[in-house]
Chain A
Amino acid sequence: MTTRIVELRRGILKKNDELAAGLRSRFTTAGVLVLNLVSSPGTGKTAFLERTLRELRARGAQAAALVGDLETDNDARRLAASGAPVRQINTHGICHLDAEMITKHLEGWEGVSLAGLNYLFIENVGNLVCPSSYDLGERIRAALLSVTEGEDKPLKYPGLFNSADAAVITKIDIAEPCGFDRELALHNINEIRPGIRIFETSAKTGAGMDDWLAYLAEQAKPY
């Protein structure tokens, strides 16, 4: 027997990366801005997205959402109340969405064509670790954290926060009773992802939503 070393230098998630690259070019061709929303469970992704969808529709934009959860279609039903087309992705135990799931769920989505959309939101499974490895073809990865989670969340999950294009702080309406240290949170986000755009929002009161919507409009094609 002889042994030999073979150099590979191949990405482990190459298949996902290739599928994601295909999705990205489809999204670009269709002129739809795609966002991947990532946070812990309970941050308020669904409430934030519901408000975003409603406000976008009120401004005449076409927006749709894919929403990932391990089980149940509760979030899709909540989001559908905004009037936007919503499709649930159940991962049945898998802790993240991948490009194949997105590809599959874009097929046969009744009443939705990518070219007819200005925005497509992908609400990832509540998890701050695993989704960071899986490119979904999005243009903007938004990391969300709520005022109830502790200002050091970005330091605890640098892999995700460092890969984000935007950070959204949610539930700022209850920042005070939670003893949320705003300066510290902003500092920590910036230490992990220098120069990132940060939005301070409340889905309940609507605070900060104008700023967020202006950012979306600036990133998207004109509608």
Chain B
Amino acid sequence: MHELSIAASIVESVTESAAAYPGAHVKEVRLRVGALASVVEDSLKFCWELATEGSPLAGAALVIHMLPVILHCDACGADTEIAGVQSFRCPQCGELAADLRQGRELESESIELEEPDEIEEPVEEQV
């Protein structure tokens, strides 16, 4: 159960990124999580509220985009998505393949910000 640590790391990382947009409120955080990242979607969502409480991300929604494993097969050269993570065989030719092209991601993809409309400077009337 390290999802709370992961959630705390997300808050830290995203808060840093969002600091470039002063005054903006983070509405949504979108993550890319590979099937081999050892992160359980439900546990992470469960920890999210607790981790964001009292932080600049309080109230932000968490959207998790799970990514399947993509294997590169040395035997036939194909890059193919595999179903599940129980056998690392190329679906095209059946050979075992150790070269992962996707599946370990644990990264923030994007954030949705809500920004206050710019206050227009009153234009002085020309005399």
Give the residues in chain A near B110, CB-CB below 8 Å. Answer: 5-9
Task: Kindly provide the distance from the CB of B51 to the nearest chain A CB, expressed in whole angstroms.
Answer: 12
Within 8 A of A (CB), among B13-41: 13-14, 17-18, 21, 27, 31, 36-39
Task: Kindly provide the distance from the CB of B21 to the nearest chain A CB, expressed in whole angstroms.
Answer: 7
Within 8 A of A (CB), among B46-94: 85-89
Instruction: Assess whether A133 is in contact with B39, with CB atoms less than 8 Å apart.
Output: yes
Instruction: Considering the complex, give the chain B residue whose CB is closest to the CB of A158.
Output: B85
Determine chain A's interface SS by DSSP, over half rule: mixed
With contact pairs A10-B108, A12-B106, A159-B37 given, residues A193 and B116 touching in the complex (Cβ less than 8 Å): no
Which has the most chain A C-beta neighbours within 10 Å: B2, B9, B100?
B2
Give the residues in chain B near A130, CB-CB below 8 Å. Answer: 1-2, 5, 38
User: Interface size for chain A: under 10, 10 to 19, 20 to 34, or 35 or more residues?
Assistant: 35 or more
Within 8 A of B (CB), among A155-211: 155, 158-160, 162-163, 190-195
Instruction: Considering the complex, give the chain A residue whose CB is closest to the CB of B33.
Output: A12
Task: Kindly provide the distance from the CB of A189 to the nearest chain B CB, expressed in whole angstroms.
Answer: 11
A121, B110: Cα distance in complex, Å: 38
Interface size on B, residues (CB 8 A): 40
Choice from A5, A12, A132 contacting B112 with Cβ under 8 Å: A5
Instruction: Assess whether B109 is in contact with A94, with CB atoms less than 8 Å apart.
Output: no
With contact pairs A95-B2, A194-B96 given, residues A13 and B106 touching in the complex (Cβ less than 8 Å): yes
Give the residues in chain A near B85, CB-CB below 8 Å. Answer: 158-159, 162, 192
Within 8 A of B (CB), among A81-113: 94-96
Give the residues in chain A near B113, CB-CB below 8 Å. Answer: 3-6
A141, B39: Cα distance in complex, Å: 19
Give the residues in chain A near B31, CB-CB below 8 Å. Answer: 12
Instruction: Assess whether B10 is in contact with A12, with CB atoms less than 8 Å apart.
Output: yes
A7, B46: Cα distance in complex, Å: 25
A2 within 8 A of B: yes
Give the residues in chain B near A129, CB-CB below 8 Å. Answer: 1-2, 38
Give the residues in chain A near B6, CB-CB below 8 Å. Answer: 12-13, 133
Q: Mark A1-32, 1 if CB is under 8 A from B, else 0.
A: 11111111111111110000000000000000
Instruction: Assess whether B116 is in contact with A1, with CB atoms less than 8 Å apart.
Output: yes
Within 8 A of B (CB), among A130-161: 130, 132-133, 155, 158-160
Q: A residues bordering B, Cβ < 8 Å?
A: 1-16, 94-96, 129-130, 132-133, 155, 158-160, 162-163, 190-195
Q: Which 9 A-B pairs have the closest CB atoms?
A: A194-B96, A130-B2, A159-B38, A158-B85, A8-B108, A194-B98, A132-B38, A191-B87, A159-B36
Kindly list 14 other residue pairs between chains A and B, CB separation below 8 angstroms, not including A1-B114, A132-B38: A1-B115, A2-B115, A3-B27, A3-B114, A4-B115, A6-B21, A9-B107, A12-B106, A133-B37, A133-B38, A191-B88, A192-B85, A192-B86, A195-B96
- Pairs A–B under 8 Å by Cβ, sample size 23: A1-B116, A2-B117, A4-B112, A5-B110, A5-B113, A6-B17, A6-B18, A10-B108, A12-B10, A95-B1, A96-B2, A96-B5, A130-B1, A130-B38, A133-B37, A133-B38, A158-B85, A158-B86, A191-B86, A192-B85, A192-B87, A192-B88, A194-B98
